[in-house]
């Protein structure tokens, strides 16, 4: 038995590039490097005038450069533009997505790590877009050689095996404190590798068909070899050797993304035709080949649909048998019957032994030993003709009638196609109103007979497929969708995005941990798509990405509005030994302890408390590092500024002896405001030393002799209060007068009265 992988042959990116070259072949094309990793295709193109060069400078005037699916670094585009050479850019969209991502990282100043094979053209292109801070790794040693990084972005070569990606990411987390993983393995590759593994596991022998220089074919070979030791890598049918290779039991055939259909078909036919191989059923061959072709035609996204196509092909062949049976007079069926009759006649002329065997194995699909290739091809061609219309097929036709219930389309088939009202559009209930008789419309065949002999069609399904492709293209992008959360389930919530079942993991619902997911039920939220399950047409979405983006935008706007020297109001969020963090509208600014008050502060809690709203001055803004320095004391009056208002000549005040010098004692009236009691004003009698009368820390009553706020000097006298005329009751009265100065001065760090300020005066 032969199993042909459904995901065999050209992938979406390769198919796109080959088609573009075919379409523009008359334009003097030059490919930068081989268009695909298949020498047969490249030589065939060369024979048709498509040159292959290694450098942009090898391109001549009048030629058009084709950029292959691997992509190129930006410098190549610049050089081509400078030389005035037109380009056909066939960089695979999956590769382009990596370029965009690494460019984003580069703009953000982040290093980029690429997991892939150094020197591979795709990697060369990615490095170009990632800039100088790009590192390519493929082994543990490569990772060890990397410098330690605070933050980095890691991407993968599109053909990297999933397991390798996981291993490398695990190692890279030890190198970068914050590692953003962008798993850029192409889904076509992933599906191809998954299927190859599956086939290798159940096969006795595997043939991997594809170019020897093709990285993805090489990886398929290594993968299959791991699960089936009888695995052979052949570039084409010429390398197939029945003598050297062991073919028993189940034979699996897989092919790389650069392997043309014709080559796969050649190998498949050869295996079937060979005596040593058990031929598979004719219908199966047709289904397999068709499925593989569908996979090629419908791009990488259609990988999951290929399996459906295989199923549909089987269904269609059943349906066709049903439908075609009454019309056995058609040319095709007659031809088939004639062939059968001929075969039967030929078989009856065989020797007895062979005849017995032939009659046992004789089926209309059995390949003839004498002319195997021709018969096989005839069979396939014949089958394709019979299945001219099948379920799931897309057809185009012109509208011939529009009624309230349906739209009738001429699809060039023996009967018209009918699109019922509810199959007209995925979203637009009034889609019919936009249609006119004569319009061309594309629809999918739902059934060959709607019960009234018409072909039942659906436009809705086409839209759904197109929509699905669009949805997949939007995975990993900023495209925002609105959805209503349906239900909280284990690990997240479910919803529908554009009609597709979608799962939002709990970790992607909010910026913080959410205990009870039920609170989201019924809520309308915005999401972006982060993954797509192609087989089941399901999506994985994230609300967190939207919240993060909003937060970033809000922050960016905020930062633009912060200007040094402006006043700002904020709420004290957190106190630390070195200051307070203040929320100034979604951003935390630092209010350093030294900027809390003019006097020395032991702890920020002496001045502010958590939750308190305060007005501050913006001292500095660093938009790059997202730091903002705030000042509180700067908006408070300096203690000396209030001195003229608070202290007057003749006032009697209390103070504390804070410093004793040979010529007197400094008395603190309030933090940062000190006055001097000259030695001659300490007491009524002559003093040799101030210490004989006063001690540090003494609380004393003094009379203000002079206030000079400009020079920050206050002269005090204790002696004046010790005079006989002094009456304690009067002094008390004087203190009472100061009560109206209930302004609370913010403390200052140090006294502004300098010892030097007093020397000249005394010497004079």
Shortest Cβ distance from residue 154 to ligand F3S (Å)?
Answer: 17
For residue 410, what are its two tokens?
A: 């001429």
Helical H segments across 539-625, by residue range: 544-561
The DSSP symbol for 636 reads: S
Shortest Cβ distance from residue 301 to ligand F3S (Å)?
Answer: 9
Shortest Cβ distance from residue 199 to ligand F3S (Å)?
Answer: 18
In the bound state with ligand F3S, the residue whose beta carbon lies nearer, of 192 and 390, is: 192
Q: How far apart are CA 530 and CA 553, in angstroms?
A: 20
In the bound state with ligand F3S, the residue whose beta carbon lies nearer, of 182 and 270, is: 182
Crossing angle of helices 331-348 and 372-386, rounded to 10°: 150
| Type and span of the H or E element at 36 | none
Is the distance from CB of 411 to CB of 399 less than 8 angstroms? no
For residue 414, what are its two tokens?
A: 């023996």
Shortest Cβ distance from residue 92 to ligand F3S (Å)?
Answer: 3
Would you tell me how many other CB atoms lie within 10 Å of the CB of residue 641? 12
Q: Is 234 helix (H, G, I), strand (E, B) or coil?
A: strand
In the bound state with ligand F3S, the residue whose beta carbon lies nearer, of 210 and 279, is: 210
Identify the CA nearest to 545 among candidates 565, 529, 524: 529
In the bound state with ligand F3S, the residue whose beta carbon lies nearer, of 294 and 368, is: 294
Helical H segments across 443-566, by residue range: 460-473, 544-561
Identify the CA nearest to 90 among candidates 36, 148, 171, 157: 36
Q: Is 543 helix (H, G, I), strand (E, B) or coil?
A: coil
Q: How far apart are CA 656 and CA 690, in angstroms?
A: 15
In the bound state with ligand F3S, the residue whose beta carbon lies nearer, of 95 and 665, is: 95
Shortest Cβ distance from residue 423 to ligand F3S (Å)?
Answer: 31
In the bound state with ligand F3S, the residue whose beta carbon lies nearer, of 158 and 502, is: 158
In the bound state with ligand F3S, the residue whose beta carbon lies nearer, of 158 and 231, is: 158
Shortest Cβ distance from residue 167 to ligand F3S (Å)?
Answer: 21
Kindly state the greatest CA–CA separation across the chain. 156
Shortest Cβ distance from residue 123 to ligand F3S (Å)?
Answer: 13
In the bound state with ligand F3S, the residue whose beta carbon lies nearer, of 10 and 647, is: 10
281 catalytic? Reply is: no
Q: List the catalytic residue out of 75, 78, 122, 688.
A: 122
Supply φ then ψ for residue 526, to 5 degrees. -105, 140
Alpha-carbon distances, residue 644 vs 364, 457, 741, 752 (angstroms): 118, 95, 12, 15
Q: How far apart are CA 413 and CA 398, in angstroms?
A: 12
Shortest Cβ distance from residue 14 to ligand F3S (Å)?
Answer: 5
Identify the CA nearest to 219 among candidates 250, 201, 238, 196: 196
Query: Which residues bind to ligand F3S, rule: CB under 6 A?
Result: 11-14, 69, 92, 94-95, 158-159, 186, 188-189, 257, 300
Radius of gyration (C-alpha) of the chain in whole angstroms: 43
Would you tell me how many other CB atoms lie within 10 Å of the CB of residue 736? 9
Is the distance from CB of 389 to CB of 413 less than 8 angstroms? yes
Q: Closest residue to ligand F3S, Cβ-based?
A: 13
In the bound state with ligand F3S, the residue whose beta carbon lies nearer, of 4 and 296, is: 296
Shortest Cβ distance from residue 42 to ligand F3S (Å)?
Answer: 16
Supply φ then ψ for residue 588, to 5 degrees. -95, 125
Q: How far apart are CA 277 and CA 376, in angstroms?
A: 15
Point out the residues that are catalytic: 122
């Amino acid at each position: 038995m032969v199993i042909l992988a459904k995901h065999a042959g050209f992938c979406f990116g390769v198919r796109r590039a080959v088609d573009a070259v075919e379409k523009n072949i008359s334009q003097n094309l030059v490919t930068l490097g081989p268009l695909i990793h298949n020498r047969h295709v490249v030589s065939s193109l060369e024979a048709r005038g498509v040159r292959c060069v290694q450098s942009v400078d090898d391109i001549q005037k009048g030629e058009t450069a084709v950029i292959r699916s691997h992509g190129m670094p930006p410098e190549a585009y610049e050089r081509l533009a400078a030389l005035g050479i037109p380009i056909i850019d066939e960089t695979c969209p999956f590769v382009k997505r990596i370029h965009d991502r690494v460019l984003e990282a580069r703009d953000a100043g982040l290093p980029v790590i690429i997991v892939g094979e150094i020197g591979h053209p795709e990697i060369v292109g990615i490095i170009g877009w990632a800039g100088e801070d790009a590192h390519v790794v493929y082994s543990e040693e490569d990772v060890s050689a990397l410098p330690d990084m605070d933050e980095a972005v890691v991407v993968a070569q599109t053909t990297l095996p999933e397991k390798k990606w996981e291993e490398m990411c695990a190692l890279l987390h030890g190198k970068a404190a914050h590692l953003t993983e962008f798993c850029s393995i192409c889904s076509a590759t992933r599906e191809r590798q998954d299927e190859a593994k599956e086939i290798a596991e159940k096969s006795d022998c595997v043939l991997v068909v594809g170019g020897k220089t093709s990285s993805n074919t090489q990886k398929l070979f290594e993968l299959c070899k791991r699960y089936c030791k009888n695995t052979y890598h052949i570039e084409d049918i010429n390398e197939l050797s029945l003598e050297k290779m062991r073919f028993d039991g189940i034979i699996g055939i897989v092919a790389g993304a650069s392997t043309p259909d014709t080559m796969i078909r050649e190998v498949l036919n050869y295996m079937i035709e060979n005596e040593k191989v058990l031929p598979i059923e004719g219908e199966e061959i047709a289904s397999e080949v068709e499925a593989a072709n569908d996979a090629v035609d419908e791009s990488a996204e259609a990988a999951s649909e290929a399996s459906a196509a295989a199923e549909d092909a089987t269904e269609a062949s059943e349906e066709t048998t049903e439908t075609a049976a009454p019309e056995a007079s058609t040319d095709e069926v007659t031809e088939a019957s004639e062939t059968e009759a001929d075969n039967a006649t030929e078989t009856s002329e065989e020797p007895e032994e062979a005849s017995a065997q032939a009659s046992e194995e004789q089926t209309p699909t059995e390949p003839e030993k004498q002319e195997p290739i021709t018969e096989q091809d005839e069979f396939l061609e014949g089958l394709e003709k019979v299945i001219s219309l099948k379920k799931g097929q897309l057809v185009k036709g012109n509208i011939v009638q529009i009624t309230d219930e349906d739209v009738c389309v001429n699809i060039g088939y023996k009967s018209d196609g009918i699109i019922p009202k509810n199959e007209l559009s995925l979203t637009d209930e009034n889609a019919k109103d936009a249609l006119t008789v004569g319009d061309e419309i594309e629809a999918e065949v739902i059934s060959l007979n709607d019960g009234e002999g018409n072909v039942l069609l659906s436009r809705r399904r086409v839209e759904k497929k197109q929509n699905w492709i669009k949805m997949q293209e939007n995975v990993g992008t900023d495209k925002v969708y609105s959805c209503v959360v349906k239900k909280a389930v284990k690990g997240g919530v479910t919803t529908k995005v554009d009609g597709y079942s979608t799962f939002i993991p709990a970790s992607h619902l909010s910026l913080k941990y959410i205990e009870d997911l039920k609170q989201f039920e019924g809520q309308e939220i915005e999401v972006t798509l982060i993954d797509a399950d192609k087989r089941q047409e399901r999506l994985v979405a994230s609300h967190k990405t939207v919240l993060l983006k909003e937060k970033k935008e809000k922050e960016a706007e905020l930062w633009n509005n912060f200007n040094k020297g402006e006043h700002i109001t904020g709420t004290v969020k957190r106190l630390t030994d070195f200051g307070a963090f203040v929320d100034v509208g979604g951003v935390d600014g630092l209010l350093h302890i030294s900027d809390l008050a003019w006097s020395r502060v032991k702890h920020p809690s002496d001045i502010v408390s958590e939750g308190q709203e305060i007005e501050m001055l913006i001292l500095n803004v660093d938009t790059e590092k997202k730091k903002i320095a705030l000042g509180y004391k700067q908006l408070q009056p300096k203690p000396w500024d209030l001195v003229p208002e608070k202290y007057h000549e003749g006032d009697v005040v209390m103070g504390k002896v804070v410093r004793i010098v040979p010529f007197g004692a400094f008395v603190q009236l309030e933090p940062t405001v000190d006055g001097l009691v000259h030695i001659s004003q300490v007491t009524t009698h002559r003093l040799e030393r101030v210490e004989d009368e006063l001690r540090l820390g003494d609380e004393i009553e003094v009379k203000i002799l002079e206030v000079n706020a400009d020079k920050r000097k206050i002269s005090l006298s204790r002696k004046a209060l010790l005079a006989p005329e002094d009456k304690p009751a009067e002094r008390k009265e004087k203190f009472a007068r100061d009560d109206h100065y209930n302004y609370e001065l913010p403390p200052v760090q140090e006294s502004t009265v300098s010892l030097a300020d007093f020397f000249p005066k005394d010497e004079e």
